[in-house]
Amino acid sequence: MKALLNKEIKLASSIITWLFLVFALMALIPGYPILVSAFFLGLGLFHSFQNWRENNDILYTALLPVRKTDVVKAKFSFVIMIQTAFFVLSLILTVLRMTALKNSNVYVTNVMMNANQFYLAAVLIVFALFNVVFVCGFFRTAYKFAKPFVASSILTFIVIAAAEALHHIPGLEFLNKTDSAADLRMWIILLAAAAVYIAVTCISIKRSVRLFDQIDL
């Protein structure tokens, strides 16, 4: 598995996927729907899937002396690695906003989503949807990815719209706090989202393995 992951990193993946990690910096932009950054990461990963298809990488990998299930697991490992890297970068920037920049006027008066635990939780939910809708959808055929990407994009923007709207509902204003580092409720929300991401991703891997095993390459 380690050798297959190295192949994904060094040979198969698109450089665009790596470049799109920079969109984590959107967490610092006030007055902007910063959760769109998670969509851009998905778009970056989309380019790697396009690379894999155009270069027949799925077939090439399946012809190697590895188990067919490892082909799926290697692709998922790469996706999870990129998502984790993006999340860590977002976490660092979010902690910066919740501490050193928490009293900055541009963030305190920001009517859009602020970078806090709720933002990070929403990022994980977007990633979970991407994995179950797009990645799992891709492995139905191991070739077609347009419809799964469109479907995951629509769901992503629904989540973005909902996340931007929630803190405007009376009683939920705390979801947009700039100084939520000590707010236990926010950490619980983040932990719950992390649990959802892990569970959904594990389910997606198992389902993708079953789907890919039925394909006659």
User: What is the SS3 string spanning 147-200?
Assistant: HHHHHHHHHHHHHHHHHHHHCCCCCCHHHHCCCHHHCHHHHHHHHHHHHHHHHH
Q: What is the dihedral of CA 141, 38, 129, 185, to 10 degrees?
A: 160
Task: Encode burial over 2-38: b for 16+ CB neighbours within 10 A, e otherwise.
Answer: eebbebbeeebbbeebeebbebbebbbebeebbbbbb
CA distance 100 to 157: 30
The 10s digit of each residue's pLDDT in 108-163 is 999 999 999 999 999 999 999 999 999 999 999 988 899 999 999 999 999 999 99
**pTM value?**
0.95
Would you state the pLDDT for residue 7? 82
Per-residue pLDDT of 13-27, as tens digits, reads 899 999 999 999 999
d(CA 124, CA 130): 10
Give the pLDDT confidence score for residue 69 in this predicted structure.
87
205/197 Cα distance (integer angstroms): 12
